Structure 1
Amino acid sequence: MLFDSHCHLNSDQFDEHDVLEMIHTARDQDVVQILVPGYDLASSQRAVELADSWQGLYAAVGIHPNDAAQATEEAYEQLREWAKLPQVVAIGEIGLDYHWETTPKEVQFEVFRRQIRLAKEVNLPIIIHDREAHGDIVQILREEGAQEVGGIMHCFSGSWEMAKECMNMNFLISFGGPVTFKNAKRPQEVASKVPLDYLLVETDAPYLTPEPYRGKRNQPLYVRHVAGKIAELRGMEFAEICKITSDNAERIFRVRNPFVSL
């Protein structure tokens, strides 16, 4: 069985019918657990609602760096309240994004730091969004003592040296569709080296669709192609990667597969 550790079923690109169909299609192919991360208040609320409605779905709540303008005191209090719910298993996705330049870096830094502190307060792991901000991400995680709660480096795009720094701070390394791309030498190198107990797979649906569906809308079922590529890179059986990455996701999110009897 597989665990999609990062999937935006709360995206506006999916209507109610899409969500229902994708969950059933995924489960028919043994993708049975899904983490739905928030990126603003509305999407965080939707993640909470989805996770409350479906066994095997879990929510993360947080404010993405591109939505940092939402980070009022009332917003932080709302995140704190959601974090008390049993279906909320992480704070995220949070971090830094230097690609779009929609939010000043100083604002991103403050919102990132505040949410790390919140994660430590509520004792939940952190899901990190890092786009073209590798050095500052590592520095802030270190300065804020993020190793106390650890978390996930979502859709990792950094170097092997960065991966080692993140793992030293109790962060797992997650790979999505880009690891299947022909020219993705760095993600493939890192995916082949990460110790197995630090390895996760994800889709980031509806984005970053893996081969052979690149260019189409992503969905949780396609996490099978990510796991398959990592199995190929490491010379391992597909079933081994499925079990290892699912066990790792259950460990970091502190959940148990509801479809497996004790």
Structure 2
Amino acid sequence: MLALIDSHSHFDDARFDADRDAAYQRAHTAGVKAQVLAAVSARLWPQLKTVAVRYPGLYPSYGLHPAWLAEHRHEHLDVLADWLIRERPVAIGECGLDYYLPNLDHNQQAEYFTGHLHLARRHNLPVIIHARHAVDDVIKQVRRYPGVRGVVHSFSGSADQARRLLDLGVLLSFSGPLTYPRATRLRSLIQTLPLDGFMLETDSPDQPLSSHRGERNEPAYLPEVLACVAELRGADPAEIAAATNANACRLFGIPDV
């Protein structure tokens, strides 16, 4: 069994409250030895911290997700700065831009996103970026902060956008959508990316894999994402696991599994 790192999970989500212990054990049994937990709002940071402390191999990240825009206040960025100093997370996020959901003001999203990028540069932390129908604008904002590292999670952009992000030092990560046969652009892209340019994730409990359509997603399914990537690239799963784990360890500064 191959050891794996889930580079993007919401294991603190309330949908795991009823069986979090069992889900954690299922993940471990499946070889998923570490998870990076991405936050969504200041209100939920304490819960994320509690989950990360309770379960070995879970690493916290704190930020303000654009989809939770209605909850955010500008003072939350100041609170975030305090959390970064006190809690020493492995990353800042989830943050970014979402142009798919209606009624999310683009200018307000940009203000919060640039606030995260500013903190990332100040604290030398990577950013976990959400970019839905907004990859070009994400690239424009990241370019304004040279040297900032990070990852666009659940990447769904073009090959050109992927190249531009990698040139900026921003990795890509892939999850359940890659497993759907109709995702032809994504499946073509994963075949050509350099091994040091991407990671694996589940985005649990969201984005279920094709084999779990309609179900709650969970970290235990990460080996299926690995198998899909290996098959599409015609590669040994062990090679993909080693490379993507190394990428996660390097970006987030976490121990190898």
Q: Which TM-score band applies after superposition, normalised by the shorter structure?
A: over 0.9
Name the counterpart of 2:89. Answer: 88
SS of the counterpart of 1:162? helix
When residues 43 and 187 of structure 1 are mapped into structure 2, their CA distance, relative to the original with a 3 A threshold, is farther
Per-residue CA shift, 1:157-211, capped at 9, x if unaligned? 0001000000011111100000000100111111111110111000001111112
Name the counterpart of 1:163. Answer: 162
The letter of the residue matching 2:167 is N
- Confirm or deny: 8 A CA contact 2:7 2:35 kept in the other structure: yes
Name the counterpart of 1:77. Answer: 78
Name the counterpart of 1:206. Answer: 205
Higher relative contact order (CA 8 A, sep 6+): 2
State the superposition RMSD in angstroms: 1.4
The 5 A counterparts of 1:62-141 are 62-85=63-86, 88-141=89-142
Name the counterpart of 2:13. Answer: 11
The letter of the residue matching 1:206 is P
1:85 Cα offset (Å): 4.5
In 1, distance between residues paired with 2:224 and 2:205? 15
The letter of the residue matching 1:50 is V
The letter of the residue matching 1:68 is L
Name the counterpart of 1:195. Answer: 194
Range that drifts further, 151-160 or 80-89 = 80-89
SS of the counterpart of 1:60? strand
Over the matched positions of the two proteins, sequence identity in percent amounts to: 35
1:230 Cα offset (Å): 0.4
SS of the counterpart of 2:142? helix
Range that drifts further, 185-194 or 218-227 = 185-194
1:237 Cα offset (Å): 1.2
The letter of the residue matching 1:63 is L
When residues 63 and 244 of structure 1 are mapped into structure 2, their CA distance, relative to the original with a 3 A threshold, is same
When residues 86 and 194 of structure 1 are mapped into structure 2, their CA distance, relative to the original with a 3 A threshold, is farther
In 2, distance between residues paired with 1:182 and 1:38? 30
When residues 160 and 129 of structure 1 are mapped into structure 2, their CA distance, relative to the original with a 3 A threshold, is same
In 2, distance between residues paired with 1:87 and 1:7? 18
The letter of the residue matching 1:224 is P
Instruction: Name the count of aligned residue pairs.
Output: 255
The letter of the residue matching 2:11 is L
In 1, distance between residues paired with 2:87 and 2:56? 12
- Confirm or deny: 8 A CA contact 2:117 2:148 kept in the other structure: no
Gaps in structure 1 of 5+ consecutive residues: none
